[in-house]
A and B are shown apart, each in its own frame.
Chain A
Amino acid sequence: MAILETANIEKHFGGLIANRDISIKIEEGAITSIIGPNGAGKTTLFNIMTGLYKPDSGRILFQEQDITGWPIHKIVELGIARSFQVLNIFNEISPFENIRLAVQSRKKKGFHFLRSTKYFDDINEEAETVLAEIGLASVKNIPTKELSYGNKRILEIGITLASEPKLLLMDEPTSGLPSSETERIKEFIKKISERLTIVVIEHDMNVVLTISDTITVLHQGRVIAQGSPEEIKANNQVQEAYLGGID
């Protein structure tokens, strides 16, 4: 069953066509990778799926509900979380606070204004649990900006996990990481994929081919191929547009 479905998504920026006629289905429980050369419209598609951009035309369905044009926070409430290609975390507060904010949002406690956050035991305990799971418990109280780059990447994934999404969209989770760290992220993605659906934009073909159940290839704003890793590897059009060529 498809958890997320896009129907004929179109998006233009001035003269530039970022997405054209994109209709894809994201299967529940699977890991789907979206690949394609730079400028193929991958991140734009994520932005549209999550409400950051509105599509010029086309619809987005999440669990068969039309969410086109919804504000981000409403879409997130339904159970979609997202990580970014460029780190997107709260730098001025601790990793614990980063995670706690995510849990707090899910529990809809953001409007309490007279009780200190430290007395919300359920939120704090869950934040601790997430920190333990992502292995950042030992650095949870240092300023986030002092974390290593790899740990910041992990923290961002932790934030998204703390929202307990049904669907997680990851935009190049391994970008800028050395290969040892890439391995760590890869294992982590596999582990969490047991409990949620994942869509990942990724450049590292080693990662893509080992973790994906399905691969979608975008080129110049269009879907040019879709299939299992084997099928994609064998696809001539993909070879031409992406694997062998331009990028």
Chain B
Amino acid sequence: MVRYFRHPMFITFAVFLILPAFIMKLGFMTLAIEVMIWIIFAMGYNILLGYTGLPSFGHGLFFGTGAYICGLIQQHIIAGTWIPILGSMLFCGMIAGIVGLFLARKRGIYFALLTIALTQLFFFIAFLWDGVTGGEDGLMGIERYALTFFGLFSIPIEGILSYYYFVFVILMVSLILLWKMVHSPLGSVLYATKQNEVRAKYLGYNSVLYKWIALVISAIFAGLAGALYAMLMHGAFANPMHWTKSGDVVMMVLIGGGLTNFFGPILGAAIFIAIRDIISSITEHWYLFYGLLIVFIILFLPEGILGYFRVGHASGREEVLEEV
């Protein structure tokens, strides 16, 4: 039983469970929620990058679209919380499903090129279609409506603390789902496809279909994260879809060591947002330091922090599993 408490998953939950007690008074709650949201995004994205080996450089597309769809559903269809979130996930899954018909046959640098072009296309659509998206000003007025459970009872999440725990619960559910997925037959095939696609095909796996599935899964989690982010910020913006922002989630995965460890993105997202917040509070030229930091990380720490300390098996499967 004690071993469960040492499990990274348990530690993550425990930390985020008690965190508000320490940061509530310091005014870091929004930042902490942001970290949790980016963890959801990065962990879902890592299914595609770390486990399937597809270097998408345009996942901001799904994050941004998720945010818009959440707001649009709230404002045009139903003023609630569940439906807009689920709608965002579904819509992003559908977009990924459509573009995936084309993308899933690609890999490597060509895959990256196409995802960049794609996210730019969506960026401009969002930016220019201001009648629907609010254009440059963003889509404002996204609310955190009380959660209702089949009309039986409802829980308000407008307050920062209650929204924190709402996101926390979603984070827990997401991580458990992703953990199960990674260790399932599906996860094993994705990882096999990353290592050696030809062999995977010769074992009888339809690798293109599996890559398509990985893309859709990652997009669904990105849509979820985007919707939560829209509710946090009370608005949706085109900015996350711009290619210059698309590197953020990739860096989070990489800093933590997500290519080699399931839990890497948790550490990566926390560190990324902390660094961004610290540098930008010290200097207005934080882009310079951030840019140089990226270069140095790629040069000297390409496997990320957990990779550097040799934590976890290359696959993030098996060994961590044995500990439980």
B106: Cβ under 8 A from any A Cβ: no
Contact A88 B199 (CB under 8 A): yes
B169: Cβ under 8 A from any A Cβ: no
B interface: dominant SS: helix
Contact of B184 among A73, A77, A90, A114 (CB under 8 A): A114
A228: Cβ under 8 A from any B Cβ: no
A81: Cβ under 8 A from any B Cβ: yes
Contact B196 A101 (CB under 8 A): no
Give the residues in chain A near B317, CB-CB below 8 Å: 93, 97
B207: Cβ under 8 A from any A Cβ: yes
Take A72-B201, A81-B202, A163-B203 as given contacts and tell me if A93 and B184 are in contact as well, using a CB distance cutoff of 8 Å: no
B187: Cβ under 8 A from any A Cβ: yes
Give the residues in chain A near B185, CB-CB below 8 Å: 104, 109-113, 115, 117, 120
Q: Determine the distance from Cα of A90 to Cα of B188 in the docked complex, in whole angstroms.
A: 11
* A46-101 CB contacts (< 8 Å) to partner B: 50, 52, 71-73, 76-77, 81-82, 88-94, 97, 100-101
Give the residues in chain B near A215, CB-CB below 8 Å: none
Give the residues in chain B near A114, CB-CB below 8 Å: 177, 180-181, 184
Take A76-B203, A90-B196 as given contacts and tell me if A143 and B314 are in contact as well, using a CB distance cutoff of 8 Å: yes
Chain A CB within 10 A, most for which of B181, B188, B206, B207: B188
Enumerate 27 A-B pairs (CB-CB under 8 Å) in ascending A order. A50-B202, A73-B204, A73-B206, A73-B207, A76-B201, A76-B202, A91-B195, A92-B191, A93-B314, A93-B317, A97-B318, A101-B203, A102-B203, A105-B203, A105-B205, A106-B204, A110-B186, A110-B189, A110-B210, A113-B184, A113-B185, A114-B180, A115-B180, A117-B183, A117-B185, A117-B187, A117-B188
Given contact pairs A73-B204, A93-B195, A116-B321, enumerate 13 new A-B contacts (beta carbons under 8 Å): A89-B196, A89-B199, A91-B195, A93-B315, A93-B317, A97-B188, A106-B204, A114-B184, A115-B180, A117-B183, A117-B187, A120-B185, A159-B199
